[in-house]
Structure 1
Amino acid sequence: MKVTLQPSGHIIELLPGERIIDAVRRLGFDAPQSCRNGNCHICAANLISGRVLQHGTERSRGELFTCIAEPLEDCEVEWQGVLAPDELPLRQLACQVIDIEDVGGDVCRVLLRTPAGKPLRYHAGQYLLLERPDGELSAFSIASAPHEERLLELHILTREPSTRELVEHLRTQRLARVRAPLGDCCLPRVPERPLVMIAAGTGLAQMQSMAQFCLHQGFSLPLHLYWGVRHPDDFYRAPHWQQWQQEPQVYLHQVVSDTPEWEGRQGMLCEAVCEDLTSLADYEIYLCGSPPMVYATLDALLAAGAVQEQVHSDVFAYAPRDGV
């Protein structure tokens, strides 16, 4: 028996005779609930389709109480506030701008402080939406890690007039309105496999969050971080780079694609990874970049032996292609 929860779209599988609230609890969902006799109304939902048995009465529409409703067939219900395992509530915050630093490569490192009180919960690797002066929202990876508590760090490339205007707005107003957290390419917990992190440009922000989280949690498996740009001047001052160089299990790689005179490593990021690692099936792999870059890298990694289920990117959600 299946119950589809709206507006989240989550689908839960019920055991024979199981009530909806019991299935949700068994599967690790977080849902509004309190009593178990249908009197408090906290777990109330609206039956969109299907049939349920409640207090000995069959229902096919209207309000139901998930603590006592037993589906008789596949159902669809509207139930607000339900979160899947590892899913966190989306919040709107007004944050204090505490610093804006030019770190080179036309990138500004922006530090925000969330309001005191109830802390923002997010997973390493998630992103936020930042409100622009015109009210529109732009997505930026959260470069800080969850253990940094009220601090939120962003890396903003300022080559477009709109992003320069945004940074100046933050500098002047000293206030940032954000919505967070978002994104399922993240680390709710420390991985059990070694890691490959592949970042183009300011995609390093997402990888910084995950790397800092892993190191803080005592991750001891190999962690390969590949950071690629078109020109050497595009590399900016990554705040933890020197610290990472001291970690014995962390391997750092900087790759330049469009500057033949660069004395360091040249070429595409996927080429560097495939040259270095012969057993890609052993790794969890995280990608951050433009959709064309991510899909080109994905194709190269899969051809070299990576396991598709172990390759992760937010691009797969916001710019999907057939077969991914």
Structure 2
Amino acid sequence: MRVTLQPSGAVLQTLPAETLLDAARRLGYECPQSCRNGNCHVCAALLVEGSVRQNGEVRDHGEFFACIAEPLEDCVVLWDGVLALGELPAKAYGCQVVECREVGGDVFRVRLRAPAGKPPRYHAGQYLLIERDGADRAAFSLASAPHGGRDLELHILGREESACRLLAQLQQQGIARVHMPYGDAHLAQLPDGPLVLIAAGTGMAQMQSLVEHCRARGFRHPVHLYWGVRRPEDFYPIDPWQQWEQLPNLYLHKVVSDVCAWEGRCGLLHEAVCEDLPDLRRLHVYASGSPNMVYATLDALVEAGMDAHQMRADVFAYAPRG
């Protein structure tokens, strides 16, 4: 039977005489459950459409328990707390500010430490939200990788007034209240093929997380990292950069777009990618930057032969193109 879950929109295909909970877990979903016999009520769900059999009784509406209910036809079910494969629940953490200092290019490296016994769960490439005094939460990519445990790293550009206020808040209070993880441009599973990572400015934070995760997991396919800034002085130190230079399958490219008075490469990021990689068909592409930069890169790479589905970016979710 075909069961559509709300509010997630996930669709499950159940087997004959299989309970909804068993089907969801067989398909890789993480579900609220405990006793598995309908007594604890943890797996309670609401039947919106269709019918189920529970303890020999057929129900076509109302509450039921996913651990003992078998769908009898296609159903629509309201079931909160169900997480798809690779999806993690968002939680709040009160973190100690271990470091908050400028490292170059007006960029501040912020290191946070989550409470003992509560290492945050996240995938490489995801982001968090920081609570700000008198303002909405601010989103920042995690530069750290999951194997870092309690220690989290952010790269914050300290030029806009709102960012400067947040940095001052972190320095003065020594505590950061964060909510995480968010974002689907991550590496819950390593791809079977080459990676192309494209970052503008502090979008490099997300790419640091991806590279460090690949390094920790022994990823063997080629990884091409393109980091673009407007001026050479906008490049800031990346702690593991020298170690990255020793990796045989990691190719590092720095590109300056506006002021090219330096010994390195000049131009736009997508131009550098197309120049180096004429065949884009097998690549898995991740991009991080402003919406304008990400969509311009997408259009250019699609025109050069890439399928649009090969590229992932958080921009696609928070700033969808009409």
> TM-score if structure 2 supplies the norm length?
0.95
> What is the RMSD computed on CA atoms of the aligned residues?
1.5
Partner SS for 2:38: coil
Is the Cα contact below 8 Å between 2:231 and 2:260 reproduced in 1? no
Structure 1 residues 136-164: Cα deviation after superposition (integer angstroms, max 9, x where no partner): 20110000011111110000011101100
Aligned-partner residue type, residue 156 of structure 2 = I
Q: Which residue of structure 1 aligns with residue 284 of structure 2?
A: 284
Residue 240 of structure 1: how far off its partner (Å) = 1.7
Aligned-partner residue type, residue 205 of structure 1 = A
**1-structure distance, mates of 2:303, 2:103:** 36
**2-structure distance, mates of 1:268, 1:279:** 18
Would you say 1:102 and 2:102 are equivalent positions?
yes
Which deviates more from structure 2 when the two are superposed, residues 76-85 or residues 19-28? 76-85
5 Å-filtered alignment, 1:124-203, equals 124-203=124-203
**1-structure distance, mates of 2:129, 2:73:** 39
**2-structure distance, mates of 1:151, 1:10:** 33
Q: Which residue of structure 2 aligns with residue 33 of structure 1?
A: 33
**2-structure distance, mates of 1:13, 1:189:** 23
**2-structure distance, mates of 1:98, 1:118:** 17
**1-structure distance, mates of 2:287, 2:162:** 25
Structure 1 residues 46-79: Cα deviation after superposition (integer angstroms, max 9, x where no partner): 2233322222322222210112222233322222
> TM-score if structure 1 supplies the norm length?
0.95
Residue 255 of structure 1: how far off its partner (Å) = 0.6
**1-structure distance, mates of 2:127, 2:310:** 20
5 Å-filtered alignment, 1:263-274, equals 263-274=263-274
**2-structure distance, mates of 1:202, 1:250:** 20
**1-structure distance, mates of 2:318, 2:238:** 26
**2-structure distance, mates of 1:277, 1:36:** 52
Deviation beyond 6 Å, 4+ runs, structure 1: none
Aligned-partner residue type, residue 183 of structure 2 = G
**Number of matched residues?**
322
Q: Which residue of structure 1 aligns with residue 314 of structure 2?
A: 314
**2-structure distance, mates of 1:71, 1:106:** 58
Q: Which residue of structure 2 aligns with residue 21 of structure 1?
A: 21
Which deviates more from structure 2 when the two are superposed, residues 161-170 or residues 279-288? 279-288
* Percent identity for Structure 1 against Structure 2: 60
Structure 1 residues 207-264: Cα deviation after superposition (integer angstroms, max 9, x where no partner): 0001001011111221110000111121111222222112121111111111143332
Q: Which residue of structure 1 aligns with residue 76 of structure 2?
A: 76
Residue 35 of structure 1: how far off its partner (Å) = 3.4
Partner SS for 1:163: helix
Residue 13 of structure 1: how far off its partner (Å) = 2.2
**2-structure distance, mates of 1:76, 1:174:** 47
5 Å-filtered alignment, 1:169-248, equals 169-248=169-248
**2-structure distance, mates of 1:233, 1:4:** 52
Residue 9 of structure 1: how far off its partner (Å) = 2.8
**2-structure distance, mates of 1:236, 1:118:** 31
Residue 117 of structure 1: how far off its partner (Å) = 0.9
Partner SS for 1:281: coil
**2-structure distance, mates of 1:301, 1:85:** 29
**2-structure distance, mates of 1:96, 1:173:** 9
Residue 135 of structure 1: how far off its partner (Å) = 4.6
5 Å-filtered alignment, 1:31-70, equals 31-70=31-70
Residue 308 of structure 1: how far off its partner (Å) = 2.5
Q: Which residue of structure 1 aligns with residue 297 of structure 2?
A: 297
Aligned-partner residue type, residue 258 of structure 1 = D
Where structure 1 has 5 or more consecutive residues not aligned to the other structure, the ranges are none
**2-structure distance, mates of 1:278, 1:80:** 46
Is the Cα contact below 8 Å between 2:118 and 2:150 reproduced in 1? no
**1-structure distance, mates of 2:178, 2:3:** 33
Where structure 2 has 5 or more consecutive residues not aligned to the other structure, the ranges are none
